[in-house]
Structure formats: structure tokens, C-alpha cells
Amino acid sequence: MNKLLTVTLFFAILFCCFCQEETENNEVSDVVKLTKDNFDKKVSKGSWFIKFYSESCRHCQLMAEDFEYSATNLKNKINFGSVLATEEEELSRRFRVMSYPTLLFFYNGEEFQKFRGERTVDGMSNFVLKTEKRAEKQSKKNDDWDISEL
């Protein structure tokens, strides 16, 4: 029984280690790195707040810590992702990213709203929580819609 518990605990810890992304400095991050190879699969379910950025962009650098902090605080409710737009040009074109940073909210794989507020912890956190409620409400309305009523 002890061996089974030990093995189970080992795999649970191992799983948790792989669930979080590492930053460039090998720090654990709650922001998922998105690429053209994993974007559609990852973003297809749930709420996602995604940052399209450039490493050389001063505004991106200034908001990075607040974005990371928001991701950690809301990790059980909202998924946070980042796209290095200068390397993921296909995704940048697809979502009409013209400047950095561009922050987009997705719900169940669909682009829902562009963020235009203050790039602070409070600004981003309030936006994603309110936007998620609206997205869920709209999705529920769409689910309740009956074509036979036409």
C-alpha cells in the first residue's frame, strides 16, 4: 500500500511540474506559451486572455510582470497565454495584430474581445472577469437558441 501511495504521489508531483510553463529564466510560469502548432488545441476550450508581444517592445516589457501576476491570481478561472508575435507571424496575421502588445480575450476558441484598458493587474483582472461573464452569458443564449422558433 505504501509503494502504491508513493508511486501515485510521485506521478502527481511530476504531472504538476509539466502543467506549468517555464520562462526564459527557467522560472515556473502560469502563462502558456502558444504557437501555431498548439494554439487551436489549447484555446478551443474555456476562457483565454492572450498577449501578442515582441521581446524588444518596451510596453510589453513594462506590462509583463503584471500579466504574469494576473495569470497566477486567476489561474483556476482564466487561462493566460502568450504569443511571441515576431516569431509567430501566421498567428499575428490571423488575428490582425498590428502593434504590441495586443491583448485578446478568447472564449471556447473564438476571439471575443480586444483589451483596450490599463495594462495593470487591476485593469487586466477586472477586464477578464467581466468579459468572461459576458462570454458565458452570450454562449448560454446561443445554446438556448432554437432554430424551430424561426
Nearest 5°: the CA angle 29, 32, 33 is: 110
CATH architecture of 24-138: 3-Layer(aba) Sandwich (3.40)
List, as own/partner pairs, every contact residues 31-38 make where C-beta atoms lie below 8 angstroms and the sequence separation is at least 24, other chains included. 31/67, 31/68, 31/71, 31/80, 31/81, 31/82, 32/79, 32/80, 32/81, 32/82, 33/81, 33/82, 33/84, 34/81, 34/82, 34/83, 34/88, 34/91, 35/83, 35/88, 35/91, 36/88, 36/90, 36/91
Q: In which residue ranges of the chain is pLDDT below 70?
A: 1-27, 143-150
pLDDT at position 100: 98
Assigned C-alpha cell, 130: 467581466
pLDDT tens across 16-38, in order? 444 444 444 446 799 999 999 99
pTM of the model: 0.78
pLDDT digits (tens, 9 = 90+) for 138-150: 988 776 655 555 5
Please tell me the predicted confidence (pLDDT) of residue 4.
Answer: 53
Look up residue 89 and give its DSSP letter. Answer: H
pLDDT for position 10: 47
